[in-house]
Amino acid sequence: MTKISAAITAVGKYVPDYILTNKELETYVDTNDEWITTRTGIKERRILKGEGLGTSYLAIKSAEDLIAKGNINPAEIDMVIVGTATPDLPVASTAAYVASEIGAVNAFAYDLQAACSSFLYGMSTAASYIESGRYKKVLLIGADKMSSIIDYKDRATCIIFGDGAGAALFEPNEEGLGLQDEYLRSDGVGRDFLRIEAGGSLMPTTIDTVKANKHFVYQEGKTVFKYAVSNMAEVSEKMLTRNNLSEKDIQWLVPHQANKRIIEATANRVGVGPEKVMMNIQKYGNTTSGTLPLLLADYESQLKKGDNLIFAAFGGGFTWGAIYLKWAYNS
């Protein structure tokens, strides 16, 4: 019997029109373009403006882009996973709403939350459903409206995050293409260094928590940076050694877009040159669950069938990992 693997067969993206530049951020907090660019590599980020527009809007738009480009019948999609740290509503599934809105009437859907590793973890989940043989089309979306949880008076976070979404369709493959290997990790120590303190069951929302700004992202930058650099680099290197790959065998490194210095450290550890590293952090900042699929959509035209891609991510929790995937089509 031919082994079934899970391949990405289509991608889509959406970023809002509004561009928040470093220059504009200078009017919010004590910072400047040179300081931000030197430390993060970010020049601008996209922000979703408009009454009643949440993460689902970003997710729907990216899915519609994929459906249109791939000429997909949404009624044939079996399931929809939305990786997000900023769901529209507590309790009510964002993915269920997204599936209904895009016409995936025969799909079941749910949200997946692993902070900046959500799309990476979602790749593993989508692939497992495909490899089981029970499902043929799994739509994985990474989407976050980070502007909804950022304090624009906090210089440590407001310079980093932006809004955006990307989508990927997973289908069965019998040519040995698609997801080859994965190494996913987590460590609960991370909640001390990257979190939103209030709004959950530990500290429910009150007037006092709102007044104290406890519903925004808090990040202890130096500690998170240190963990991210060492762990993203380590798991990326592990993917190569475990699969007997050298840097010459890798066509693309697909790293989470948190900080340009973290991306460069990961690339150096793996041994690939900058020409093999996907990067768009300068345009979008850190879109959390959206970074990896946005990279795929931005670089799709350069991808060739059989290309070896190493994905790596690190996020709150802490959550992190790497995935080795063979690209399945010529664009």
Which residues, listed in sequence order, are joined to residue 277 by a DSSP beta bridge? Answer: 253
Q: Is 324 helix (H, G, I), strand (E, B) or coil?
A: strand
Catalytic residue from among 22, 116, 231, 259:
116
Q: 107 near 80, Cβ under 8 Å? A: yes
Q: 318 near 187, Cβ under 8 Å? A: yes
Distance in angstroms between the alpha carbons of the first and the last residue of the chain? 29
Catalytic residue from among 158, 231, 256, 259:
256
DSSP letter (8 states) at residue 300: G
Dihedral class, residue 189 (left if φ above 0, else alpha if ψ from -120 to 50, else beta): alpha
Q: Please, which residues have CB within 8 angstroms of residue 63's CB and are 6 or more apart in sequence?
A: 12, 80, 98, 102, 139, 141, 167
215 is known as an active-site residue: no
Strand order in the sheet with 252-255: 178-186, 319-326, 308-315, 252-255
256 is known as an active-site residue: yes
Catalytic residue from among 22, 231, 259, 286:
286
Q: 200 near 214, Cβ under 8 Å? A: no
71 is known as an active-site residue: no
Q: Which residues are catalytic?
A: 116, 256, 286
